[in-house]
Amino acid sequence: MKIKEILTIDLSEDIKNVIDVEDVSEKEIQAEIESYIVTDGLAREYADFVDTFTSNILETGVWISGFYGSGKSYFGKLLGYMLSNRTIGGTPARDRIVQRFTGINDEALVKNALSRLDAITSRVVFLDIAKQDTSKGLAFTLFRNFIRSLSLPENEHGIFLFQLMLSEGKTAVQDYIFDASGLDWDEIRTSSFKYAKAIKELYIKKGNSNADYENLITTIRRDIDQFSAARLREELTNYLQVEKNEKVVFLFDEASEALNQKKFELLDLEGVSESLSSLGGKVWTIAIAQEKLDDVISNASLSRAQLTKVTDRFKTKIHLEATEVDVIIRNRLLRKSEAGIQKLTEHFKLNSGKISDHAAIHGAGISKTDNAENYATYYPFYKYQFDLLQNFLFGK
């Protein structure tokens, strides 16, 4: 038998080495959910987060950390799917994800904990903060991505339309544009000329003048240049007064990398989180980073008072350990077919002496290949090879 005939994974498929949190296409979401391996440790982290998310906690900042390759972005992205629960291929994303929680310890308890999300409606804004243009500040970057999640342009015209809809108690832009003008928003939104013209005509048709429109657009442009965390809170407050039963979640990846690139300062993040936490648990900020928050803080040279403020804003911390990687390797990359396991077990029984000699290596924390199960599980490698690689990578 060839190696590809022994493994259950299809080697002809491309295996993504990096999860892009901004790729939220339906096809990509479905593929990521179906490929996800839920370990006992990950299941506990999901359940603990839901306990916090559905509680009355006042500080709504969350810090998810883990070494490169630990699965932190994957974890965070599926957490976002679980919260937003958009329909994927006719099935709610949460139903698809919960199916992955099969065969874990305390399965019934974990699934019961996750079911509490059914009572909450959440809008999740996904972004890779290291790729974003943050020249207008972190607060505006988050707001710009928020209105994008509503299918609005990420500019002054989108903000104008956003405020216009809220003034009439509306948030669904497709319905609003069609009812007001008979135009198909999905058709005109791809052209800035078309949507800018449509928005202006819509506003003037309501009895306003051209001068009124120009003055408001000028004011919005000025506001963008001085957009603050307090302004972000005001805009979201107005939105939540219309969507009273909704929570807004900003989930952004590569937080520590963006900090190192000076995309924003740690105190900017603290200021945004503090401002949003004042909305009574209605808006959450979830940062995903390679470094633990304590390590990021220690590198930022903050005063004791500033350090305490940052720590207090992100009371919920999730750190994904390297020990999960071995479980995922065995269950995702190296899982064998029944015929493959039988073939490898027979081969080990016939050649156990030679295999043990070939795999003999001595060292602290290194496992010998001295039984058929160990041999079949890690074939075409030896377990010690993964032990050494993980010890080196995660040690560094």
Q: Does the pLDDT value for residue 14 go beyond 80?
A: no
Structure tokens at 56: 């009355």
Whole-angstrom distance, CA of residue 86 vs CA of residue 122 = 10
Looking at residue 37, its pLDDT comes to 86
Q: Specify which of 28-42, 94-108, 365-379 reaches the highest per-range mean pLDDT.
A: 94-108
- The one-character DSSP state at 238 is H
Place of tokens 């269950």: 331
Q: What percent of the chain has pLDDT over 70?
A: 96
> Residue 16: pLDDT band by 50, 70, 90 thresholds?
low
Tell the residue number behind the tokens 């593929």, with chain if given: 31
User: Contact, 384 vs 367, CB < 8 A?
Assistant: yes
Q: Is 90 exceeded by the pLDDT of residue 193? A: yes
Q: For 267-272, what is the mean pLDDT? A: 92
Residue-wise pLDDT tens digits, 220-234 = 999 999 999 999 999
- The C-alpha atoms of residue 94 and residue 134 are separated, in whole angstroms, by 32
> What's the pLDDT score for residue 361?
76
pLDDT at 17 over 80: no
Token readout for 173 is: 């832009």
Contact criterion met (CB below 8 Å) for 151 and 185: yes
C-alpha to C-alpha distance for 393 and 322, rounded to whole angstroms = 10
Higher pLDDT, 344 or 12: 344
More confident site: 28 or 392 = 28
Our measurement of the distance from residue 88's CA atom to the centroid of its chain's CA atoms, rounded to an integer in Å, reads 17
Residue 367 pLDDT greater than 80, yes or no: no
Residue with the bigger pLDDT between 253 and 1: it is: 253
pLDDT at res. 299? 79
pLDDT of amino acid 394? 66
pLDDT tens digits, residue range 301-359? 777 677 778 888 899 999 987 656 777 788 778 989 999 999 999 999 999 889 888 87
Comparing 293 with 173, the larger pLDDT belongs to: 173
Task: List residues bridging with 248 in a β-sheet.
Answer: 123, 283
DSSP symbols for 117-175: GGG-EEEEEEEEGGGS--TT-HHHHHHHHHHHHTT--SSHHHHHHHHHHHHTT---HHH
Residues 20-61: tens digit of each pLDDT: 888 888 888 998 998 888 988 999 999 999 999 999 998 999
Least confident of 102-116, 216-230, 359-373: 359-373
Residue 242 carries which side chain, given as an amino acid letter? V
> How far is Cα 78 from Cα 80, in angstroms, rounded to an integer?
5
Amino acid, res. 84: S
pLDDT band per the 50, 70, 90 thresholds, residue 365: low
* pLDDT beyond 90 at 9: no
